[in-house]
Amino acid sequence: MPIISELKLAKELIRRPSITPVDAGAINILAKKLKSLGFKCEMMNFKNVKNLYAKLGKSSPNFCFAGHTDVVPVGDLKSWSVNPFSGVIKNKKLIGRGASDMKGSIACFVAALNQFKKIKPKFKGSISLLITGDEEGIAVNGTKKVVEKLKKRKEKINFCLVGEPTNLAKLGQMMKIGRRGSITGYLTVYGTQGHVAYPHKANNPTPVITKILNQISNIRLDRGTKDFQPSNLEVVKINIENTADNVIPAEAKATFNIRFNNKHSSTSLKNKFNKVLKSICDKNQCSFKISYMVSGEAFLTKPNQTTYMIQRIIKKITKIKPKLSTAGGTSDARFIRKISPCVEFGLVGKTMHKINEHVSLSDLKKLKKIYLEILLNYFK
Ligand SMILES: [Zn+2]
């Protein structure tokens, strides 16, 4: 059997400039390593996106690790202290795009697998990896489609660990057991264009849209729950395309985003907001158009035995008891939770998506240990 080092593999992955949705050979590196460990590797490519479902064993239970090899763009290249795709170590840190989010944690899991197989060449159950090249982008041809395909053929996953960087500053701080939902609303209010000196001959949509935005910003959606912070709406754009100062514009546009907990669904929110829009527009003899983009519904994996086992192991190795949290943005767990309970734990995300993204070498070692112990305990 080969010896797979988490650091070497992380470097190798970072050296592939897999800026979403380009793969640049990253998934093939993993497939090769996993094949050498006896995994059956299945490429699930949709349009221009490469995905991998790799599996060792056939029996139940199936423990799955999920992650993505795509990364966000580097930003201002000149601001980096090293080439973001060279995988350089400086001051006991591995620097490079994807080091934290999340080539580092994938490498830790594969290295842990390598050791697990040495300790337990035979185990009851199976281990799988669901790796996508489309998480940082529109995420249409990645995990979403792989999950649909697995569901169709009744592939059973009993538990899924997602390796996203869940820790804000220190390894061990946080596991994620759910995520808030996200919905974006695109609103246009239509009035009647006219001369600014003859307002009675026109109908200005500007005060109407500001009234709407003010009102929806002040709706208290809920007070939060034991597991979730309160739902929140933010207006992110207001746009009135008007080239003259003596013209009352015909239309005004705005965009708002809502991060919501599991007291709501995207449908219940749409209904709620549409009522407000209609009532204000009716009162002001305006018409409106609204469309929504739902990025994901809110979900929660009620902590079970495996969740607490993972929490115990993290505490044992990092000396910190991780908080079970639902904070932050969305992740691919929003798709996987449709076929399996999901928990997320990975590296420290302090520098993710930033210039000089990095992880400490000691965190990489610890995370590999954590993943190894999770596997040993799960297949006890
Ligand atoms: Zn990520």
3-state helix, strand, coil in the chain (%, to 5): 35, 25, 40
- The mean pLDDT of the chain is 97
- 3-state secondary structure string, 113-168? HHHHHHHCCCCCCEEEEEEECCCCCCCCCCHHHHHHHHHHCCCCCCEEEECCCCEC
pLDDT at position 139 is 86
What is the average pLDDT across 306-331? 96
Element (H, E) at 300: strand 299-300
Tens digit of each residue's pLDDT (9 = 90 or more) over 98-114: 999 999 999 999 999 99
Task: Compute the distance from residue 10 Cα to the ligand 1 centre, in Å.
Answer: 15
Tens digit of each residue's pLDDT (9 = 90 or more) over 201-255: 999 999 999 999 999 999 999 999 999 999 999 999 999 999 999 999 999 999 9
pLDDT at position 147 is 97
Residues facing 359 on adjacent strands: 94
pLDDT at position 106 is 98
- Which domains does the chain carry? 6-179+298-378 (3.40.630.10), 181-296 (3.30.70.360)
Active site residues: 70, 135
pLDDT interval class at 137 (50, 70, 90): confident
**Is it the case that residue 200 has pLDDT exceeding 90?**
yes
Task: Compute the distance from residue 152 Cα to the ligand 1 centre, in Å.
Answer: 26
**Is it the case that residue 265 has pLDDT exceeding 90?**
yes
What is the average pLDDT across 254-282? 97
Tens digit of each residue's pLDDT (9 = 90 or more) over 15-69: 999 999 999 999 999 999 999 999 999 999 999 999 999 999 999 999 999 999 9
Task: Compute the distance from residue 24 Cα to the ligand 1 centre, in Å.
Answer: 17
Task: Compute the distance from residue 175 Cα to the ligand 1 centre, in Å.
Answer: 14
Residues facing 237 on adjacent strands: 255
d(CA 221, CA 232): 7
Task: Compute the distance from residue 67 Cα to the ligand 1 centre, in Å.
Answer: 7
- Rg of the chain over CA atoms, in angstroms? 24
